[in-house]
């Protein structure tokens, strides 16, 4: 199974998705779209794990349109969460490098990774299977960034 690394994170993911669902009830359209996109992307990972979906399938389903729309509209990402990521929020060692980052910087990295994965897929005739990149690591890093972003938005 490709998504074995996700096994330990499935239970808390349900709670995070429920939180994001509640948080998306706002009159700010861009904020609502960003939160819904994050929720939907986390749901892609959850369902891909449950249904043993390939990395190609995950890449096809991930969305970054709301992030790009927000950037184009000069959205203030601090409306999602002000401040910087604190060490206490980090649950996975791979995310330690994000200590001190803002929501905007983390969103930018998420957007960049989704674009990069799509481009790798296009370069390899519609599949990442022959890619020389470590797709498993790239996708798991993307998931843990998204989860960190949701945790950061949820943090008190």
User: Domain boundaries in the chain?
Assistant: 4-154
Report d(CA 11, CA 14) in Å as an integer: 6
Angle 106-111-44 (CA atoms, 0-180°, nearest 5)?
100
Report d(CA 73, CA 34) in Å as an integer: 12
pLDDT of 150 above 90: yes
Report d(CA 151, CA 110) in Å as an integer: 15
pTM passes above 0.85:
yes
Distances (CA, A) of 145 to 39, 126, 130, 132, 141: 13, 25, 25, 22, 6
- Polymer length of the chain: 156
- pLDDT tens sequence across 66-84: 999 999 999 999 999 999 9
DSSP 35-56: HHHHHHHHHHHHHHHHHT--HH
Roughly what angle, to the nearest 10 degrees, separates helices 135-154 and 29-51?
Answer: 130
pLDDT of 8 above 80: no
pLDDT at 26: 80
- Average confidence score pLDDT of the chain: 91
CA 35 to chain centre: 11
């Amino acid at each position: 199974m490709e998504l074995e690394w996700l096994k330990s994170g499935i239970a808390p993911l349900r709670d995070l998705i429920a939180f994001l669902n509640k948080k998306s009830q706002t009159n700010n359209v861009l904020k609502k779209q960003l939160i819904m996109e994050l929720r939907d992307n986390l749901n892609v990972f959850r369902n891909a794990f449950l249904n043993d979906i390939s990395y190609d399938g995950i890449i096809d389903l991930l969305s970054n349109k709301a992030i790009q729309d927000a950037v184009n509209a000069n959205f203030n990402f601090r409306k999602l969460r002000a401040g910087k990521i604190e060490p206490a929020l980090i649950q996975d060692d791979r995310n330690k490098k994000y200590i001190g980052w803002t929501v905007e910087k983390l969103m930018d990295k998420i957007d960049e990774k989704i674009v990069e994965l799509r481009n790798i897929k296009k370069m390899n005739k519609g599949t990442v299977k022959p890619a020389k990149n470590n797709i498993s690591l790239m996708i798991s890093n993307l998931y843990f960034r998204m989860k960190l972003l949701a945790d950061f938005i949820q943090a008190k």
